[in-house]
Structure 1
Amino acid sequence: MSKSPDGGGPAHQLWWWDRRRSALLDIVLAALAGLECAFGAYGVVQDRLHLGTGIAVAAAVPGALAGATLVVRRRWPAVPVLVALVFVPGLFGMILLVVSLYTLAATWEWPSRRRRVVALSALALVETFGMVLFAIFAPGEQADPAAPLPPAWVFVLLAALVAVGLTVPPVVTGLYVGARRRLVESLKDRAHGLEAELDLLAEQARERARRARLEERTRIAREMHDVVAHRVSLMVVHAAALERTIPRDPERAQQSAKLMGEVGRQALDELREILGVLRMAEPAAAQADRPDSLAGLPRLVDQSRAAGMLVSLTVSGDSCPYTGQAERTAYRLVQEGLTNAHKHAGGARVTVQLAYRPNGVRVAVVNAPADGDGAKVALPSGGNGLLGMRERVVALGGSFSAGPAEDGGFRVEAVLPSRLAVRADRLA
């Protein structure tokens, strides 16, 4: 859209013209057509009808007004055509006829108004043909009456060629220009549609990226919680035991200090892995080497047992490797269960159960009721551990439960589906 000269906003639209140069073009064409029609009307009245100069001048006025109808050719394209058909029998108004036929074909939508365009164009063709043929055969002065005349078909052919030359090219050109203009507008609409669709896709991509970042932050937060909560809990328990045993049993205190250092190093290693290592699929054989796999459960239990917890590990069924994510989830569940037992059931007996079944692997951590005589260690609790474990297990398609046990203790249990198992006979 054009703008005002001062750049303050869109320019005022002049009637039915979108651009000022379009209005200027129509005014120039109307002026040329008006002059031609005025001179043509004057010549017909003065030279052919011999009605006098005054009447000839008066007849020139309607001729000028007829040519001026080109000003409205964009708004009412049929009006100039109808006016031209009125003046064609007088052998003038050719500019008006050609321009109006072109405008009619270019501006009227094709094929919705095909009949009107064809009818008016055919009428103009027939009338022009008859006008030229009448002018050829009309009686008048002949330069040499004795000279032989060509056959009649020559004159008919000449009239047909003139009629076709005055009507067909403007109509064909107008149809072409109109079709091209509509094609360009259609392509622009499609381009705008594609641009809007690309904007929508870009917005959806940004939203997916935002969700992916949120999920990744949530996953890292869970990993950080599992590592920090368990390892630090063990270090706090060892520190409390160390404080009590230094005066009475220096050797045991030394062992507790050594375990604290080992637990701290493990915590640092796991934190580095979480923050710095790209998570990629690993061969099933390599899962046993990971500290946070099912093969690392005995060591995890030994660490809690060294901290003074009465904990045992029971493994049943035919063992088989699972995917890295599944084994890490099971390991973290046991880790979280032991951490909760440290926090809330000091001195109670804890049982870790690992059962391989046909429908999957079941992992459970069950602690007996807290022993009132057990050593109490104040450990912070954010309440996010079990919630994070539930999200992990459900994301893998498993089931999770946590709640009081029948004997008054607490039970944390999860079942991971068998489809997560890695089998050697699985098809590639």
Structure 2
Amino acid sequence: MTVTGEETTRGVTGPWWWARWRSAVLDGSLALVSALECGAEGIPFARDAGIPVSLGVVFGLIAGSVLLVRRKWPIAVVLVSIAITPAEMGFLMGIVGLYTLASCELPRRVIGALAGMSLLGTMIVTFVRVRQSMARGDLTLGDWFVPFAAVTTSLGLTAPPLLLGLYVGARRRLMESLRERADSLERELQLLAERAEERAEWARNEERTRIAREMHDVVAHRVSLMVVHAAALQAVARKDPEKAVRNAALVGDMGRQALTELREMLGVLRAGEDVGGRRGGGVPLAAVREAAAAAASRVVDEVGSGEGPCLSELDELIGQSAAAGMVVDLSVVGEVRSYAAVIEQTAYRVVQEALTNVHKHAAGAKTHVRLAHRVSEIAMQVENEAPPEPGSAGAVGLPSGGNGLVGMRERVVGLGGVFVSGPTDAGGFRVSAVIPAA
């Protein structure tokens, strides 16, 4: 599992400047070994320098223990190792110090300068010691061996820790970059998930609104006509049995049409629930977003498809209102032509809902329906005259939810059109809408 930068920061539990206890233990062990080494090497140094052996040992122990702060002050460790190189001390400290220096976040010129000083110091000391050994007769090799030994020893003590430190430092920086990138990607994924949830919630709200509007337009008109016919049936049941039979047949037909349209609407709603049920079982984020988008457009695609109402059915719609006792006058201006399914359905629903409102609030009032086919738009207007006096035979009490005009406005404005409604000076009510033909 990838460890992010935040988790790395929370994992800092070591003492002082150490990130972990094991790092402190490692540095303490290296410092102890380095102190023992320098203390042992302080004995010949004290003899050669003519100072007390105890002083040389103490000097070696103090110098070797500097390795303890290699993570905090790597430059100081390297400088101390270079300073005690002439005394032939601190080989472990020099190697570990160069490795730590090369792996730190320091400028390349600083690392190069200190590595060059360590290389040069080791080379000079080795050259002098080997030459002295050959002068004393301890070594009987040729003169070529002196520079060879100096160069080989200095490179062997400097190059490997330097290269290893550079490699480890580059790898560490790469891992930190990957952790930062992982943190950034995690934040982006969280943001995308939040946005996907917002879009899904928006899609669900849109779907509910569309279904509620469609059900209102479809069912309210049928039920209103059924109530009007039922009232007429009650009035003429005894006086004119034949007319009562016709009204009863109309009520049955309208009830069946309302049930059919309601069943289609509920079928679309069940399809949306099936998609929502599948969404909860570990579906990928992309599938959730696609399902949400599909849910938002399902009502438009299925309810608003070519199978829905169209302008050619206006005559039948007006005939149903006329059969319920309403006097409706239809006038069409312009060349009749076909439009996109969603435009024709919207125009049909506007007229349907306007007639429903007349049945509810102005029963018996004469109504004028005007439809205009223009070059780049289609306009419709439904205007009723002043309703008869309250208590007349045409008045029928119907409940009103107050959402009819809101739904019409949403439909028209959603297609880029203009919707206006309001009372007339003559005491009637007018509903006007203009929808772009494109």
Shift of 1:119: 1.2
Offset of residue 10 of structure 1: 7.1
The alignment status of 1:25 with 2:26, answered yes or no, reads: yes
CA contact under 8 A between 1:368 and 1:407: conserved in structure 2? yes
CA offsets, 1:194-237, max 9 Å, x none?
01101110110111011001000000000111122111111111
> 1:158: how far off?
2.2
Choose the corresponding residue for 2:166, options 165, 175, 181.
175
In the other structure, the counterpart of 1:425 is none
**What's the CA shift string for 1:272-318, capped at 9, x where partnerless?**
22221465759x9x94xx46211111111111110111112222211
Query: Aligned with 2:364: secondary structure?
Result: coil
Q: SS of 2:136's equivalent?
A: coil
| CA deviation vs aligned residue, 1:335-373 (integer Å, no higher than 9, x gap) | 110011111112110011121110211121111111224
Determine whether 1:63 maps to 2:80. Answer: no
Bigger shift: 36-45 or 404-413?
A: 404-413
Aligned to 1:151: 143
Stretch of structure 1 that moved more, 265-274 or 174-183: 265-274
SS in 1 for 2:100: helix
Deviates more, 1:99-108 or 1:366-375: 366-375
CA contact (8 A) 2:35 2:64 kept: yes
The Cα of 1:90 is off from its aligned counterpart by 1.1
Q: For residue 380 of structure 2, what is the aligned residue in structure 1?
A: 363
Matches within 5 A, 1:277-426: 277=268, 287=306, 290=307, 292-372=309-389, 373=392, 375-419=394-438
Q: For residue 50 of structure 1, report the CA deviation from its aligned partner.
A: 4.7
TM-score (norm 2): 0.86
After alignment, is 271-280 or 191-200 more displaced? 271-280
Structure 1, 92-101 or 273-282: larger mean CA deviation: 273-282
Q: Tell me by how many angstroms 1:405 deviates.
A: 2.6
Aligned residue type for 1:179 = A
Contact 1:348 1:367 in 2 (8 A): yes
The answer to whether residue 223 in structure 2 is matched with residue 206 in structure 1 is: no
Equivalent residue in structure 1 for 2:100, among 98, 103, 117: 103
Q: Answer yes or no: is the 8 Å Cα contact 1:242–1:257 preserved in 2.
A: yes
> Quick check: 1:93 aligned with 2:85?
no
Q: Please tell me whether the aligned partners of residues 281 and 324 of structure 1 are also in contact (alpha carbons under 8 angstroms).
A: no
1:113-132 to structure 2, matched below 5 A, reads 113-132=107-126
Asked whether the 8 Å contact 2:211–2:299 carries over to 1, the reply is: no
- Normalised by the length of structure 1, the TM-score is 0.88
Structure 1 distance, partners of 2:69, 2:176, is 23
What is the identity, as a one-letter code, of the residue corresponding to 1:65? Answer: I
Q: Secondary structure at the match of 2:169?
A: helix
Q: Give the equivalent residue in structure 1 for 2:243.
A: 252
The 2-side partners of 1:291 and 1:135 are apart by 104
Asked if the contact 2:95/2:157 (under 8 Å) is kept, the reply is yes
Moved more, 196-205 or 321-330: 321-330
Matched, 1:36 2:37: yes
Quote the Cα distance in structure 2 between the aligned partners of 1:88 and 1:63: 12
Letter in 1 for 2:324: A
2:130 and 2:149 in contact (8 A); partners too = no
Partner Cα separation in structure 2 for residue 143 and residue 224 of structure 1:
109
Alignment of 1:136 onto 2:137 = no
**TM-aligned CA distance change 1:291 to 1:30, over 3 Å:** closer
* Aligned AA (1:181): R
Between the aligned partners of 1:267 and 1:206, the Cα distance in structure 2 is 35
Equivalent pair of 2:210/2:299 in contact (CA under 8 Å): no
CA distance in 2, matches of 1:161, 1:313: 109
Change in Cα spacing, 1:143 to 1:86, as seen in structure 2 (3 Å) is closer
Counterpart-to-counterpart distance in 1, 2:240 and 2:189: 72
Alpha-carbon distance in 2 for matches of 1:44, 1:359: 105
Letter in 2 for 1:158: A
Q: Secondary structure at the match of 1:138?
A: helix
Q: Which amino acid aligns with 1:43?
A: P
Q: 3-state DSSP class of the match of 1:314?
A: strand
Matched residues, percent identical? 48
Structure 2, unpaired ranges of 5+: 4-9, 269-297
Aligned residues: 397
Would the aligned equivalents of 1:348 and 1:374 in 2 still touch at CA under 8 Å? no
Structure 2 counterpart of 1:424: none
Amino acid at match of 1:352: V
Contact 2:224/2:398 (<8 A) preserved:
yes
Q: Tell me which amino acid in the other structure corresponds to 1:107.
A: C
On the 8 A contact 2:207/2:299 being kept in 1, the answer is: no
Q: In structure 2, how many angstroms separate the alpha carbons of the residues matched to 1:34 and 1:273? A: 89
The root-mean-square deviation of aligned C-alpha atoms, in Å, is: 2.1
Q: Tell me how far apart the structure 2 counterparts of residues 19 and 362 of structure 1 sit (CA, whole Å).
A: 78
Given candidates 149, 164, 170, the residue that maps to 2:155 is 164
SS at match of 2:239: coil
Tell me the CA shift for residue 407 of structure 1: 2.9
Counterpart AA for 1:403:
G
Structure 1: stretches of 5+ with no match in the other structure: 2-8, 420-428
| Matched AA of 1:363 | M
Q: 1:243 aligns with which of 230, 234, 240?
A: 234
Distance 1:381 1:38 in 2: 102
Q: Distance in 1 between matches of 2:387 and 2:63?
A: 109
> CA offset at residue 138 of structure 1?
2.6
